[in-house]
């Protein structure tokens, strides 16, 4: 059996998340509060929703809850996972789990990432359901939507597009002619798109002050859908800001491991649902006789 821990990103957050964890790990909660300058427990448990949904706060809260969930899972099971992966922000929890950095360092990185992304300018995102990513690209190219990027490749027929608000509104109209399932996301930025280039440049400068430890557990990268090399941690974290989240390919890679068993750690079960879709879309293996 291959035990795989996966960690959700922004969008899975909700008021009340982490309620069962904060009392169990007060030392880590105190460390988080010292870094952030506010009570992360209060933010997660009481919100308000508008503040918790602000990128600058969401990402920090999701990292803390994800990291505490991982520590709790390992303590309860007594077993480290064989692989870890995270969706967008969740990749930082995966890297913490793999030993790239300690809890506090990870939170420092996430806080700077969140601030850089929030200040990169207005943007919008929309989820397109019911058609493939290739079809999404074909429609955008054919009908002239040059400012729109594919941001998340979540499942065989779930793709997220990202770009300036007006461009996404136009893209939603174009894509809506092909499928009625085009859903705007509650975000304030065009994440995982070229719009994040200023944030990526700022974050790259910030990362120059950090050194990352060798990974003790393979971490599957959003940007490459393959495990990190120890020499490329900083580069892949910068690249992730402007590159699509290749979640479908990442899960397919993990499904190719012997007897994979996934555990989603953190708020919700969004990734569990996506993994089920990806698994169902794989061609059935057939025996070949000689």
Each residue of 151-176: pLDDT tens digit?
A: 999 999 999 999 999 999 999 999 99
Rg (CA), the chain: 19
What are the catalytic residues? 88, 192
Residue 88 above 70 pLDDT?
Answer: yes
Mean pLDDT score, 32-61: 97
Strand pairing category for 219-220 and 83-86:
parallel
C-alpha distance across the termini of the chain, in Å: 29
284: buried, middle or exposed (CB in 10 Å: 19+, 13-18, 0-12)?
exposed
CA distance 162 to 172: 11
Q: Using 50, 70 and 90 to split pLDDT, how confident is the model at 121?
A: confident
Spell out where 11-138 has E strands: 83-86, 124-129
pLDDT of residue 285: 46
- Interval 186-235: pLDDT, tens: 888 999 999 999 999 999 999 999 999 999 999 999 999 999 999 999 99
Q: Using 50, 70 and 90 to split pLDDT, how confident is the model at 284?
A: low
283 CB neighbour count, 10 Å cutoff: 5
* From 41-45, 112-116, 183-187, 259-263, the region with the lowest mean pLDDT: 183-187
* Residue written as token pair 């991982």: 70
CB 90 within 8 A of CB 8: yes
Sheet containing 158-163, strands listed edge to edge, beginning at the edge strand earlier in sequence: 149-155, 158-163, 124-129, 182-184
Residue 86 above 80 pLDDT?
Answer: yes
pLDDT of residue 287: 37
Mean pLDDT score, 275-288: 74
pLDDT of residue 180: 82
pLDDT of residue 187: 87
Taking all residues of the chain, what is their mean pLDDT, rounded to a whole number? 95
Residue 247 above 70 pLDDT?
Answer: yes
CB 67 within 8 A of CB 103: yes
Within the chain, which residue ranges are assigned CATH 3.30.70.250? 124-184
125 CB neighbour count, 10 Å cutoff: 26
CA distance 227 to 116: 26
CATH pick for 124-184 out of 3.40.50.2300, 3.30.200.20, 1.10.3260.10, 3.30.70.250:
3.30.70.250
Residue 162 tokens, joined = 């990202």
- Interval 130-150: pLDDT, tens: 999 999 999 999 988 899 999
Tell me the fold of 2-120+193-280: Malonyl-Coenzyme A Acyl Carrier Protein; domain 2 (3.40.366)
Within the chain, which residue ranges are assigned CATH 3.40.366.10? 2-120+193-280
pLDDT of residue 188: 84
């Amino acid at each position: 059996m291959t035990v795989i821990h996966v960690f959700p990103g922004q969008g899975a957050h909700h008021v009340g998340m982490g309620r069962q964890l904060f009392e169990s790990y007060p030392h880590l909660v105190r460390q988080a509060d010292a870094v952030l300058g506010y009570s992360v427990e209060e933010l997660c448990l009481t919100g308000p929703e508008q503040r918790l949904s602000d990128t600058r706060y969401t990402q920090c809260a999701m990292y803390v809850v994800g990291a505490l969930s991982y520590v709790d899972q390992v303590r309860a099971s007594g077993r480290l996972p064989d692989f870890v992966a995270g969706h967008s922000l969740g990749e930082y929890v995966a890297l913490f789990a793999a030993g790239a950095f300690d809890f506090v360092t990870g939170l420092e990185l996430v806080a700077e990432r969140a601030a850089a992304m929030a200040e990169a300018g207005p943007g919008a995102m929309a989820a397109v359901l019911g058609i493939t990513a290739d079809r999404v690209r074909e429609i955008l190219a054919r009908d002239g939507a040059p400012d729109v990027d594919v941001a998340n490749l979540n499942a065989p027929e779930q793709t997220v597009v990202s770009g300036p608000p007006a461009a996404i509104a136009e893209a939603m109209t174009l894509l809506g002619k092909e499928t009625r399932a085009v859903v705007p996301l509650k975000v304030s930025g065009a994440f995982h798109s070229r719009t994040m280039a200023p944030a990526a440049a700022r974050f790259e400068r910030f990362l120059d002050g950090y050194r990352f430890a060798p990974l003790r557990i393979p971490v599957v990268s959003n940007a490459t859908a393959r495990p990190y090399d120890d020499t490329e941690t900083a580069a892949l974290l910068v690249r992730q800001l402007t590159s699509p989240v290749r979640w479908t390919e990442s899960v397919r890679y993990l499904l190719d491991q012997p007897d994979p068993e996934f555990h989603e750690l953190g708020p919700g079960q969004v990734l569990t649902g996506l993994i089920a879709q990806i698994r169902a879309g794989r061609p059935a293996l057939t025996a070949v006789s000689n």
